[in-house]
Amino acid sequence: MASRQQRTPGAILKIDLGDGYHSYARILGKANYAFYDLKTKVDIKDMSEIVSKPILFIVSVYDDVITRGRWLKVGKLPLEESLQSLPFKFIQDLYTGELEQYNSNTGEIKPATKAECEGLERAAVWEADHVESRLRDFYSKKPNLWVEQLKMK
């Protein structure tokens, strides 16, 4: 394990995907991380090359990925304005099916329609290994167990 790291918005992280491949993510505000569409065996030194890639998804992840050094910081760039405001997420009552929108920036929760929640991530905090499996499955063009479980019902 690496030495303890701090959670620093804008920091770029290297994520081991196995078989010599890795991907990159970025620390955003309030426990959120952006995951870039980049799978490579080459260490990319130019951070602007990484952040120029499309973002696959933004989810909250437990901070131990940083503090225990599972995902290593490899650089840092100031967050673009588009990443300073976090995307909304949805909450669904497991019994009634009722939906709400969660504002990741303010913590505000309001009732929502299915249409308003389409395309949003479920409000959840992900484990590192679940994110890593999601990335591997994305590149293998396979459905991911965790994504399927968290879909709107």
Compute the Cα dihedral for 113, 141, 12, 150 and give only its sign: positive
Question: Could you identify the residue written with the tokens 């939906």?
Answer: 99
pLDDT in tens, 81-110: 999 999 999 999 989 999 999 999 999 999
pLDDT of residue 111: 98
DSSP 77: -
Domain map (residue ranges) of the chain: 11-84+125-150
pLDDT of residue 7: 87
Percentage of the residues of the chain whose pLDDT score is greater than 70: 98
Q: What are residue 93's DSSP bridge partners?
A: none
pLDDT of residue 3: 57
Which pLDDT band, with edges at 50, 70 and 90, does 1 fall under?
very low
Give the span between the Cα atoms of 109 and 53, in whole angstroms: 31
pLDDT in tens, 33-73: 999 999 999 999 999 999 999 999 999 999 999 999 999 99
pLDDT of residue 5: 85
Largest CA distance in the chain: 49
| pTM: predicted TM-score of the whole model, two decimal places | 0.93
Question: Could you identify the residue written with the tokens 């499996």?
Answer: 133
- The mean predicted confidence, pLDDT, of the chain is 95
- How far, in Å, are 6, 7, 127, 137, 142 from residue 64 at the CA level? 10, 9, 9, 23, 27
Phi, psi of 128 (to 5 degrees): -55, -45
Give the span between the Cα atoms of 6 and 13, in whole angstroms: 12
